[in-house]
Chain A
Amino acid sequence: MPATLFLLVYFAVPLGMLFFWSVRARGVPGLTLINFRTLLSDPFFLQTLWLSVRLSLEVTVITLVLGFPLAYLYTRLGAGWRLTILFVTLLPLLTSAVVRSFAWIVILGKQGLVNTVLMGSGLLEAPAKLLFTVDGVRVALAQVQLPFMLLPLINALEQLDPSLEQAAVSLGASQARAFFKVTVPLSTPGVVAGAILSFALTISAFITPAMVGGGSFIVMPTLIYQSAIVTLDWSTAATTALILLVVALAVVWGGMMLARRFRYGVEHA
């Protein structure tokens, strides 16, 4: 079982190191929680943490709302459409985050697509500042994360028995009512799975906020990077990373609890 050994050494142990570093502080002997206390009482840190959480939640909701209709239509359309949707989903998924964030810089920049269109049509006099703002990052992040939300959604909706919706319709529910009363509730486990994944990935995204948000835009991952590489304050970096992990895991765990409540012992078609 060389794989296990390898991963154990190369993966688990480093994580242990993280833990180790976070509980040691310069000038203080032995194990201590002082790092945690320092960070968690720093208003700047808390502000950054809150920004990260809020942004990730917003992005998760956006991707959910945007992705659900597409996933729903996927299950109802023929092979040609399905292939197209999958292709359009997989292509960005596999493209480097650097490239995708770069694309957003091109779109949101002063001489980028959005501004060119808005100014060209006379709606704006001066170019709007879209880059290096929270809104810009939000829009870019949502697009980067959309494929990660879409795939679990598609999987969840595909497993739903189509005759359930038909049964609702035959009993008198309009298409819309059948959708909201049957399809949506029954797809909840898949939705939660996608949301968990999306949230976890978004909150730890480094590249997109760094590039689209610019130097002054700080989220948790940026903090970690700066502490580790720039200021070489490895204790802070480790502590921040651990706090990030804990927050992400808390949301994942919360989500899984939520999903369990909605199990219904659903039989998959």
Chain B
Amino acid sequence: MSMTGTINEHIVASRPASAQPDLRLIEVTRRYGPVTAVDRVSLDVARGEFVTLLGPSGCGKTTLLKCIAGFLAPSGGQVVLRDEVMNDVLPHLRNIGIVFQHYALFPHMTVTDNIAFGLRMRKRPRAEIARRVAEMLRLVRLPGFDRRYPHQLSGGQQQRVALARVLAVEPVLLLLDEPFGALDKKLRVEMQIEVKQLVTLLGMTTIFVTHDQEEAMRMSDRVAVMNGGRIVQCDTPAEIYDHPRDLFVADFIGSSNLLEARIADGHGGRRRVEVAGVLLDLPASAISARPGEVTLAMVRPDNLTLSDMAPADHPAWMGVVSFALHAGSVMEYEVVVNEACRLRVSRPRRQAENTQVWSKGDRVAVSVVALDAVRVFPADTALGAAAPSP
């Protein structure tokens, strides 16, 4: 497994025919004096793929976006778009569409003029422009809005105009810079679905930047988790969730229980690991630490289940429920095993089989649902340095 995330195998596995990647980032680096904002990032994006750059503020995702767009020149590496090296090309000649965080609609132009802008820059004939604008308005479901001004539109409508404006010129690549930040939750989810459907329909290669991991998981074909200027892991959302490569990814995506672990023994494809006092039998591939290193085990709350007594063949922790919360569709529990070990457990409230509900003070046994989804990391990779390959 490679370190920085160029995962050609995944592309081959999940995408049909089209051979050459649409966008290649080759060791792209961007420095500001002593600070390295983007550190040798390499990434291949296939045509029509939707890749999200996900990470906390300051991880370099916006800087990387600007390098791709051409507003910043990389200090090193290359940006290659459809087999053409873009480093020297001025941003207005790259034919890359960008939707900005606050949409950047031209306030002094009508919706029509906004959408037509790119076409006018390319000197298309009037009739064609008119036709295309109408087409775009239909596409984003805003017919009849042609004469309005941006300040007369709601947030969601502005966003759709921003999309229409960008799609009108049929860009080679679409860049979306945290476009849903300004919308409220419900509208956000609606727009996420709408935008994804739209770009899929058009087969548009898309790079999406966000710090919201739910958004990333929901929309992307692949997610590139970034930290400190590097891509730490780039995989499908399911892979990232189930098999995070290191502690940073495990902690950043979803919630997790991090428990003291000690690799006891094992051979072949399995290891026995003592996790907070309980011996678990895990596949060797789940462990990315060397023997003798201090390690932490990661178990997701939804990967734990409760029972009154320890099940016969499953190792379990015994503890007392310290709180039980009705959080919408799930029950969230905290079970205190001992001072050093408090387990978060999340169970759905309604399910086919009978789901028991526990309350504060109950004695319970906590066991792992899927051992394969437990991961063991070296304890000092919390800062996100890539783990060494086993």
**A interface vs B, CB < 8 Å?**
161, 163-164, 166-175, 177-178, 182, 185-186, 262, 264-267, 269
B323: interface (CB < 8 Å): no
Contact B107 A264 (CB under 8 A): yes
The answer for the CA separation of A164 and B91 in the assembled complex, in Å, is: 14
Residues of A within 8 Å of B117, CB to CB, are 168, 171, 173
Contact A167 B108 (CB under 8 A): no
Contact B102 A163 (CB under 8 A): yes
Chain B contacts with A in 88-135, Cβ cutoff 8 A: 90-98, 100-102, 104-108, 117-118, 121-122
Contact A167 B104 (CB under 8 A): yes
The answer for the CA separation of A173 and B169 in the assembled complex, in Å, is: 12
B166: interface (CB < 8 Å): yes
Residues of B within 8 Å of A166, CB to CB, are 69, 71, 91, 98, 100, 104
Q: Is the interface of A mostly helix, strand, loop or mixed?
A: helix
B222: interface (CB < 8 Å): no
The answer for the CA separation of A251 and B60 in the assembled complex, in Å, is: 50
Residues of B within 8 Å of A172, CB to CB, are 92-93, 95, 118, 121-122, 169
Q: Which residue, B90, B95, B98, has most C-beta atoms of chain A within 10 A?
A: B98
Please name the 8 residue pairs, one residue from A and one from B, whose CB atoms are nearest each other, closest first: A172-B121, A265-B151, A171-B118, A167-B104, A163-B104, A163-B100, A170-B98, A264-B108
- Nearest A residue (CB) for B101: A163
The answer for the CA separation of A265 and B105 in the assembled complex, in Å, is: 12
CB distance from B6 to the nearest CB of A (A): 26
The answer for the CA separation of A170 and B100 in the assembled complex, in Å, is: 11
Listed by A's residue number, 18 A-B pairs whose Cβ atoms lie within 8 Å are A166-B91, A166-B98, A167-B105, A167-B106, A169-B71, A169-B92, A170-B92, A170-B94, A171-B97, A171-B121, A171-B169, A172-B92, A172-B122, A174-B90, A174-B92, A182-B106, A265-B107, A265-B149
Residues of A within 8 Å of B69, CB to CB, are 166, 170
Contact A167 B107 (CB under 8 A): no
The contact of A167 among B94, B100, B169, by CB within 8 Å, is B100
CB distance from A157 to the nearest CB of B (A): 15
The answer for the CA separation of A111 and B101 in the assembled complex, in Å, is: 59
Q: Which residue, B121, B165, B169, has most C-beta atoms of chain A within 10 A?
A: B121
Contact B100 A171 (CB under 8 A): no
The answer for the CA separation of A186 and B152 in the assembled complex, in Å, is: 17
Residues of B within 8 Å of A164, CB to CB, are 104, 106
What 1/0 flags go to B313-357 for Cβ under 8 Å of A?
000000000000000000000000000000000000000000000
The contact of A266 among B91, B97, B107, B166, by CB within 8 Å, is B107
- If A264-B149, A265-B149, A267-B151 touch, whether A170 touches B96 (CB-CB below 8 Å) is yes
Contact A170 B102 (CB under 8 A): no
CB distance from B288 to the nearest CB of A (A): 40
CB distance from B136 to the nearest CB of A (A): 13
- Nearest B residue (CB) for A177: B121
Contact B91 A170 (CB under 8 A): yes
- Nearest B residue (CB) for A167: B104
The contact of A186 among B96, B107, B118, B121, by CB within 8 Å, is B107
CB distance from B175 to the nearest CB of A (A): 8
Residues of B within 8 Å of A175, CB to CB, are 92
Contact A173 B121 (CB under 8 A): yes
The answer for the CA separation of A261 and B308 in the assembled complex, in Å, is: 74
Residues of B within 8 Å of A267, CB to CB, are 107, 150-151
- Nearest B residue (CB) for A166: B71
- Nearest B residue (CB) for A186: B108
Residues of B within 8 Å of A269, CB to CB, are 102
The contact of A173 among B92, B98, B101, by CB within 8 Å, is B92
Residues of B within 8 Å of A168, CB to CB, are 106, 117
The answer for the CA separation of A174 and B118 in the assembled complex, in Å, is: 11
Q: Which residue, A166, A262, A269, has most C-beta atoms of chain B within 10 A?
A: A166
Residues of B within 8 Å of A163, CB to CB, are 100-102, 104
Residues of A within 8 Å of B107, CB to CB, are 186, 264-267
Chain B contacts with A in 122-165, Cβ cutoff 8 A: 122, 149-152, 165
CB distance from A259 to the nearest CB of B (A): 13
The answer for the CA separation of A131 and B165 in the assembled complex, in Å, is: 56
CB distance from A160 to the nearest CB of B (A): 10
Contact B104 A161 (CB under 8 A): yes
Residues of A within 8 Å of B93, CB to CB, are 172
Residues of A within 8 Å of B98, CB to CB, are 166-167, 170
CB distance from B324 to the nearest CB of A (A): 46
